Each structure stands twice: as C-alpha cells, then as structure tokens.
C-alpha cells in the first residue's frame, strides 16, 4: 500500500486533502500540531468511508518532532509516495513597519524551514538514489506569494515565495530520482486561518473582487493538490497551479 503524509491535516485544506487522498486509496498520515480531537475526527471520517488513516502529532517547526514523525511513518507497512506540505501559519494583520524579528522567524520556521525539512526527509525515502520507489511532493503555497499581502502579512507572503522557489529548485534536483515536485497557490479559501489574521470574515470581504465572484472551498484546492500528486500528472514537475478564482 502507498502512504501519503499531509502536514496540517486536522482541518481546512489539509483535512480536505487527506479525505480525498484516502478516497484515492492511499493510507493517510494525518499530521497535526495541537488539535488532536480534530485530527482524530479526520481519521474517523476516513475510516467510516472505508479508507485507512492515522493521526500523528508533530510541530513541523521543531526538527526533533519532525524526525519522530518520519520515524513513525517508517514503522508503517506502506511506502511513502506522497508528501503534501500543507501546514502553514500567519499572524495578526499588520504593516511591515510593525513586524518583529520573533514573528518573522516564527512564520519562516513553520512555512519555510518546516517545509524544507519535510522535503528532505521525503526525498531520502522516495528517491531512487536512496533505494526508494519515487513519489510526488506538493507544496501548498499561496496567491499571496504573487500578490504580496500588503497591509496584512507580507512576512507570510514572503514565506510562500520561498516555498515557490523551493518547488522550482527541488524539482530540478530530484527529477532524475523519480520524484515530482509541484505547488498549488490557493487564493481566498473558507478556513479558520483568516481568524488567525484577526479577520474571520476576510474571504467574504474580498469575494466581490475575485474574478469568479466568490471565495473557494477546501475541496476545490484538494482536487488540484491530489491531481498533482497523482499519476495523471506524471509529466508535470516544477509547476505551480494558481487556484485563486482568477486572482
Ligand atoms: P488552517 O489554519 O485552517 O489549518 C492549519 C493547519 O496547519 C492545521 O491542521 C494546523 O494544526 C496545522 N499546523 C499549523 N502549524 C503547524 C505546525 N507548526 N506543525 C504542524 N502542523 C501545523 O489553514 P488552511 O487550511 O487555511 O491553510 C492550509 C495551507 O493553505 C497553509 O499553508 C496556508 O498558508 C495555505 N493557504 C490558505 C489559504 C486560505 O485562504 N485559507 C490561501 C492560500 C494559502 P492544528 O489544527 O493542530 O493547529
């Protein structure tokens, strides 16, 4: 059986991605940071639908916890072939002139360093040069990487820009080792993340300015992620799909 790891799968886009991967026949590792009950409900939902999943706690910004997470995957009788780097954070909306070093470092520790380290560990397991069977990595970036998130969270937007560069560079490094690396840049999706920025109703506020005239649903992003991870996208690497309703 093939194993898929989705970081930050306890809710939001990660939850929808875990559910869809399970429907496609993967055993899914549902990573979460703090919300164990939410992660367990994702696992229960997958099992109710006849799929296989397990929850695994780890703060991906903490290298020791991340290594324990991958050791947990190694104990499975399934091969890791899909990594979805979905976990990401942002903080209260503010201007660059108000940012602190501590906040910038925290955002980058999760969104950039955590993603890099998950890629490192996945490549060691998937790469044919390491005796692996190959696989697919999908990095969940953001339209903010293109738009900049001015007046909201430029630190977060810049971290997503770094993720896009990782997608490009890593895709070239491992193209000969059976690993495809792609990204998805969601736009304004209905999740709890906007509350972390201090504006729970943010998606509805901007909806009329989105060409498709509405915010997006988590399932719509999961479709793009899972397609990139699938064999249907077998000739695609180093690509980033904008899933932002035209923004
Ligand atoms: P949510 O805030 O709804 O969920 C975040 C998820 O990430 C949770 O499962 C959370 O775990 C987990 N998480 C947070 N920090 C860590 C960490 N350090 N280690 C492990 N897991 C962590 O986010 P969304 O679903 O909205 O976003 C998912 C991804 O999509 C993010 O990368 C985000 O930047 C990106 N995105 C979202 C957009 C949107 O409009 N919603 C737009 C563009 C991009 P727990 O539940 O345990 O706290």
For position 100, which CATH number holds?
3.40.50.720
pLDDT tens profile 148-193: 999 999 999 999 999 999 999 999 999 999 999 999 999 999 999 9
The residue behind tokens 């970036």 is 141
Please tell me the pTM assigned to this model.
0.99
Catalytic residues: 156
Beta bridge partners of 138: 84, 182
Q: What angle do CA 229, 143, 121 make, to 5 degrees?
A: 40
Mean pLDDT of the chain: 98
Task: Measure the CA–CA gap between 185 and 112, rounded to whole angstroms.
Answer: 15
Q: Which domain does 75 fall in, by range?
A: 2-243
5 CB under 6 A from ligand 1?
A: no
The token pair at 221 is: 């992003």
pLDDT in tens, 43-93: 999 999 999 999 999 999 999 999 999 999 999 999 999 999 999 999 999
* d(CA 193, ligand 1 centre) in Å: 7
* 72: exposed, middle or buried (Cβ count in 10 Å: 0-12, 13-18, 19+): middle
Residue 110 CB–ligand 1 contact under 6 Å: yes
For residue 103, name the pLDDT band (cuts at 50, 70, 90).
Answer: very high
CA-nearest residue, atom 8 of ligand 1: 8
The arithmetic mean of pLDDT across residues 125-140, rounded, is 98
**Counted domains in the chain:** 1
Question: What is the residue-wise DSSP string for 74-90?
Answer: HTSSSEEEEEEE-----
């Amino acid at each position: 059986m093939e194993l898929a790891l989705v970081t930050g799968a306890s809710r939001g886009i990660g939850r929808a991605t875990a559910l869809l991967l399970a429907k496609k026949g993967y055993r899914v590792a549902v990573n979460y940071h703090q919300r164990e009950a939410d992660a367990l409900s994702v696992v229960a939902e997958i099992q109710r639908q006849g799929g296989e999943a397990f929850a695994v706690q780890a703060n991906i910004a903490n290298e020791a916890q991340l290594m324990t997470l991958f050791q947990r995957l190694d104990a499975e009788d399934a091969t890791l072939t899909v990594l979805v780097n979905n976990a990401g954070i942002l903080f209260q909306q503010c201007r660059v002139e108000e940012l602190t070093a501590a906040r910038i470092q925290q955002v980058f520790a999760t969104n950039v360093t955590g993603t890099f380290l998950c890629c490192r560990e996945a490549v060691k397991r998937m790469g044919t040069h390491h005796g692996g069977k190959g696989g697919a990595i999908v990095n969940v970036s953001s339209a903010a990487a293109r738009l900049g998130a001015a007046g909201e969270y430029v630190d977060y937007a810049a971290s997503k820009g770094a993720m896009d560069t990782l997608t490009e560079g890593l895709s070239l490094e491992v193209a000969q080792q059976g690993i495809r690396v792609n990204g998805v840049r969601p736009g304004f999706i209905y999740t709890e993340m906007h509350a972390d920025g201090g504006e729970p109703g943010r998606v509805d506020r901007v909806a009329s300015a989105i060409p498709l005239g509405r915010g997006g649903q988590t399932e719509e992003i999961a479709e793009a992620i899972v397609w990139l991870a699938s064999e249907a996208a077998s000739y695609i690497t180093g690509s980033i799909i904008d899933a932002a309703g035209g923004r």
